[in-house]
Amino acid sequence: MKSLNNAIAGQAVLAGSTSDHDLERMLLIRQYELSVLGLFSSGHVTGTTHTCMGQEYIPVALNPFIEEEDFVISNHRGHGHYIARYGDAQGLLAEVMGKQGAVCNGIGGSQHIRRDRFISTGVQAEGIAVGTGIAWSYKYKQQDNLVFVYIGDGTFGRGCVYESLNFAGIWNLPMVIVVENNGIAISTQQSYSMSGSIEGRVRGFDLDYLCIRSKAVNEIREQTGDAIHRVRKESKPLVIEFITDRVASHSKGDDTRSADELERVRENYWYNQMKASDKARVEKLEEGVRNQMQTLQELVIHREGAEWADYETRKNK
């Protein structure tokens, strides 16, 4: 009974902490991912994709702290990071489908996106290395900007992470490193691949560290706001570890988790929890988002394919 009461209380906090605007953006990210998976199944998209279902709330919660001149570096599971910043589901969908109007004219696909001060990469740990370089340039030029780098727990198996943390710590670089710890790397549970903890590794470089377990947007902002402001003011790197869940498979169908584990993940999914406590509001906003994505999907499907030469021409202007 106690655990049930705690769960109900948590659902109420989650719903009460999320504005319509934030919830709509989270639902847009979720519906975008569902649309992409559906398009793969129907043969309209080739290659691969990695959805962020379960983690949609993280970039939405952090987005108000990201200023226009700040740099965001994403990873292979980065659709939500892009949509949270730009709201551009149409351009990203066109990119994944290789259609005209794509963010990078179909060159980047699902994993390699570039727009303004946003890039994503499918190469593990490449983002944190590039982000460290950008942060160093910001500090060298005395620019009042931050670099936000998103990595996953599995990326801590790459030596480049530790080189970057070491360099960032030595030079006190203006970086916010966001670790989306969903506890599983492809199909390997963290307990089989990591000795110790992410906090322990981060503390070893004398970096500031926060651990966030909440999925309530406003609560997350309250817990992280002062620390992020301190990075901007004092230029000392911060690592924020989010304890979260990956609801969908690693890519499109490669999920080896047990039925019991998947059930636990679904019970913890912010979407299911919010529907349990605030069903009418969620369904109303979700209907609008679903209609929006259906319209965008039909629009993009019937476009001509993107021409790479157009991108080269625009880039060189």
So what's the pLDDT on residue 175? 98
Domains in the chain with CATH codes = 2-316 (3.40.50.970)
Q: How far apart are CA 132 and CA 177, in angstroms?
A: 10
Q: How far apart are CA 223 and CA 215, in angstroms?
A: 11
The string of DSSP letters for the chain reads -HHHHHHHHHHHHHHHT--HHHHHHHHHHHHHHHHHHHHHHTTS--S-----TT-THHHHHHGGG--TTSEEEE-TT-HHHHHHHH--HHHHHHHHHTBTT-TTTTSSTTT--EETTEEE-SSTTHHHHHHHHHHHHHHHTT----EEEEEEGGGGGSHHHHHHHHHHHHHT--EEEEEEE-SEETTEEHHHH-SS-HHHHHHTTT-EEEEE----HHHHHHHHHHHHHHHHHH---EEEEEE----S-SSSS-----HHHHHHHHHH-HHHHHHHHSHHHHHHHHHHHHHHHHHHHHHHHTSPBP-HHHHHHHHH-
> Model's pTM, two decimal places?
0.90
Tokens of 108: 């980047």
Q: Which of 74, 230, 247 is nearest to 152 (CA)?
A: 74
So what's the pLDDT on residue 307? 84
Task: Give yes or no for a contact between 269 and 206, defined as CB atoms under 8 angstroms apart.
Answer: no
Beta bridge partners of 179: 151, 241
Length of the chain: 317
So what's the pLDDT on residue 183? 77
Q: Which of 34, 1, 11 is nearest to 274 (CA)?
A: 11
Q: For residue 40, how many C-alpha atoms fall within 13 Å in the half-sphere facing its CB?
A: 17
Q: What is the pLDDT of residues 114-133, one digit of tens each?
A: 999 999 998 988 999 999 99
Amino acid at 36: V
Q: pLDDT by residue for the chain (317 residues), tens digit each?
A: 444 445 555 565 676 778 999 999 999 999 999 999 999 888 888 777 888 999 999 999 999 999 999 999 999 999 999 999 999 999 999 999 999 999 999 989 889 999 999 999 989 889 999 999 999 999 999 999 999 999 998 889 889 999 999 999 999 999 999 999 987 776 667 776 778 899 999 999 999 999 999 999 999 999 999 999 999 999 999 999 999 998 876 767 677 778 888 889 899 999 999 999 999 999 999 999 999 999 999 999 999 998 876 555 555 55
